[in-house]
Amino acid sequence: MADPREQKLAELLVQYSVHLQKGESCLINAVDIPTSMTEALIKAVYAVGGYPVVNLWNQRIERAMCENATQASLEKWADVDVYRMKQMDAFIGIRGIANVRELATIPEKSNLASTYYNTPVHMKTRLPHTKWVVLRYPTEIMAMQAGLGTVEFEEFFYKVCTQVDYAAMASAMEEAKTFLDTVDQVHIKAKNTDLTFSVKGMPWIPCAGRMNIPDGEIYSCPVKDSVQGTITYNTESTYHGHCFKEVSFTFKDGKIVQAHADDDALLNDILDIDEGARYIGEFALGCNPGILKPMDNTLFDEKIFGSIHFTPGNAYDDCDNTNRSSVHWDLVQIQRPEYGGGEMYFDGVLVRKDGVFVHPKLTCLNLSL
- What residue ranges do the domains of the chain occupy? 4-162, 166-365
In this prediction, residue 100 carries a pLDDT of 86
Measured in whole angstroms, the distance separating CA 224 from the mean position of its chain's CA atoms is: 20
Percent of the chain residues past pLDDT 90, beyond the cut: 95
In this prediction, residue 134 carries a pLDDT of 97
User: Letter for the amino acid at 206?
Assistant: P
User: What top-level class would CATH report for the domain 4-162?
Assistant: alpha beta
Handedness of CA 221, 225, 229, 232 (dihedral sign): positive
State the DSSP code for 163. Answer: S
pLDDT higher than 80, residue 112 = yes
Higher pLDDT, 99 or 337: 337
Q: Taking CA 57 as the corner, what is the angle to CA 20 and CA 120, rounded to the nearest 5 degrees?
A: 70
Express each pLDDT in 6-49 by its tens digit.
999 999 999 999 999 999 999 999 999 999 999 999 999 999 99
State the DSSP code for 337. Answer: G
pLDDT higher than 80, residue 369 = no
Confidence of residue 240 (pLDDT cuts 50, 70, 90): confident
Average pLDDT of every residue of the chain: 96
Which among 54, 53, 49, 52 has a CA at the least distance from the CA of 23?
49
Rounded Cα distance between 228 and 272, Å, is 19
Measured in whole angstroms, the distance separating CA 320 from the mean position of its chain's CA atoms is: 16
Residues 181-216 as b/e (b if ≥16 CB within 10 A, e otherwise) read eebeebbbbbeebebbbbbeebebbbbbbbbbbbbb
Q: How many helical (H) and strand (E) elements, i.e. helices and strands, does the chain have?
A: 11, 20
pLDDT higher than 90, residue 178 = yes
Backbone angles phi, psi at 184, to 5 degrees: -110, -75
Helix/strand/coil for 208: coil
Query: Stretch 170-187: mean pLDDT, rounded?
Result: 97
Express each pLDDT in 199-212 by its tens digit.
999 999 999 999 99
Contact 253, 225 (CB under 8 A): yes
User: Letter for the amino acid at 72?
Assistant: A
Percent of the chain residues past pLDDT 70, beyond the cut: 100
DSSP calls for 214-272: S--EEEE---TT--EEEEE--S-EEETTEEE-S-EEEEETTEEEEEESSSHHHHHHHHT
Express each pLDDT in 275-320 by its tens digit.
999 999 999 999 999 999 999 999 999 999 999 999 999 999 999 9
Q: Write down the H helix ranges in the chain.
A: 4-11, 35-47, 59-67, 71-86, 107-113, 127-129, 140-146, 150-162, 166-180, 264-271, 298-301
In this prediction, residue 260 carries a pLDDT of 98
In this prediction, residue 144 carries a pLDDT of 93
Query: Stretch 132-155: mean pLDDT, rounded?
Result: 95
Question: Hey, what long-range contacts does 266-269 have (CB within 8 A, 24 or more apart)?
Answer: 266/107, 266/242, 269/107, 269/108, 269/111
Sheet architecture: strand order including 343-346: 255-260, 248-252, 228-232, 193-198, 185-190, 343-346, 349-353, 356-357
Contact 359, 347 (CB under 8 A): no
Query: Stretch 111-138: mean pLDDT, rounded?
Result: 96
Query: Stretch 238-250: mean pLDDT, rounded?
Result: 94
Express each pLDDT in 39-73 by its tens digit.
999 999 999 999 999 999 999 999 999 999 999 99
Contact 69, 113 (CB under 8 A): yes
In this prediction, residue 52 carries a pLDDT of 98
Contact 12, 47 (CB under 8 A): no
> How many CB atoms within 10 Å of residue 149?
12
In this prediction, residue 36 carries a pLDDT of 97
In this prediction, residue 2 carries a pLDDT of 75
Q: Rounded to the nearest 10 degrees, how much is the dihedral formed by the CA atoms of 270, 274, 275, 279?
A: -40
pLDDT higher than 90, residue 359 = yes
pLDDT higher than 70, residue 1 = no
